[in-house]
Amino acid sequence: MQSADLTLRLPPSMQLPAPEEPLESFQREEVLSWVVDPDSETVRFLSLVVGDPGALGNLAEDLDSVRRYDVTPVDEETFYGYVEMDLRAANATLLGTFDVPGLVVVPPMVYTGRENVHVTVLGEPEAMSGLLERTPDEVGVEVERVSEHQRRSETLAGRLTARQFEALEVARDAGYYEVPRCGDLATVAEALECSESAASTLLRSAERGLVDAALRR
């Protein structure tokens, strides 16, 4: 199977029709699960959101289409948000793009701002080849990557080798990532039984993988 990382640029007609103020409180939304119910004409989302938990209530009050919502805080700046809302034509069109036999969306679907959606799709070559043709003309599509599917590309820790993961764990336990830092590179290298240069390379490579994953690169 093949997979592809796509960045979609939504036109105004397909963006959430909400005031800018509550949306500005959300830096990133990872849509973990979604269900479209055509019988009741609703769509249900479960998301992990980086932003102000109180802003979801403000957003729900501004949108008549929201039927129900629930907030479960993780910390002061992160929360799980569950929303049931009317199925808008824009939602049906966007999600319907990927409703193809032999093709699936690999969660999460990541929103960074009102118009940017980052999606990873997995499927048979025939299904993948027709995906761009199915995308609505008004939606901009940037193909970030196409390759044989590797599960490690879709998770944060999964991008790391076992040695890189070990290096991060050792560095964390040593206080290397504390603020202010209370562990040094020499301590990490000693625990890993390697040179400081090798330890530094391991950490920087691991950090790059985590940063790229967080930013959907």
Phi/psi at 192 (nearest 5 deg)?
A: -85, -10
Q: For residue range 89-105, list pLDDT tens digits in order.
A: 888 888 888 888 889 99
Residues 187 and 97 in one domain: no
Average confidence score pLDDT of the chain = 87
Give the structural domain span for 130.
2-146
Q: Buried b vs exposed e over 144-164: b needs ≥16 C-beta within 10 Å?
A: eeeeeeeeebbeeeebbeeeb
* Rounded Cα gap, residues 208 and 174, in angstroms: 20
| Boundary-marking domain end, from 122, 146, 170 | 146
Helix (H) or strand (E) segment spanning residue 186: helix 185-192
Using N-to-C axis directions, what is the helix angle for 162-173 and 196-214, rounded to 10°?
Answer: 100
User: 41-90 pLDDT, tens per residue?
Assistant: 999 999 999 888 888 888 888 889 999 999 999 888 889 999 999 998 88
Q: Quick one: 52 and 103 in the same domain?
A: yes
